Amino acid sequence: MTWSLAQIWRHPIKGVGAERLDHVGLHIDRPLPMDRAWAVLEEGGEAADGWRSCRNFLRGAKGPSLMAVTARVADEVIHLSHPDLPDLAITPGSQEASRALCAWVKPIYPADRRGPAALVKAPEEGMSDAPFASVSVLNLASLRALSQKLGQDLEPRRFRGNLWLDGLAPWEEFDLVGKRLKIGAAELEIIEPIGRCRATEANPDTGRRDAGTLAALQDGWGHTRFGVYAMVRRAGRVAVGDEVIRT
pLDDT given for residue 47 in this prediction: 83
Give the mean pLDDT of 228-243: 98
What's the mean pLDDT when you consider all of the chain?
A: 97
* C-alpha–C-alpha distance, residues 19 and 157, integer Å: 9
Would you give the end-to-end CA distance of the chain in angstroms?
16
CA dihedral sign of residues 59, 63, 67, 70: negative
Chain segment 192-226, per-residue pLDDT in tens:
999 999 999 999 999 999 999 999 999 999 999 99
Helix, coil or strand: residue 137 = strand
pLDDT given for residue 227 in this prediction: 98
Residue 1 in this model has a pLDDT that exceeds 80: no
* C-alpha–C-alpha distance, residues 155 and 174, integer Å: 20
Least reliable range by pLDDT among 41-55, 134-148, 158-172: 41-55
Q: Which domains does the chain show, CATH number per domain?
A: 3-31+130-246 (2.40.33.20), 38-121 (no CATH)
- pTM > 0.85: yes
Confidence of residue 236 (pLDDT cuts 50, 70, 90): very high
**Percent of the chain residues topping a pLDDT of 70:** 100
* C-alpha–C-alpha distance, residues 145 and 208, integer Å: 22
Phi, psi dihedrals of residue 107, rounded to the nearest 5°: -65, -20
- In this structure, the chain runs to a length of 247
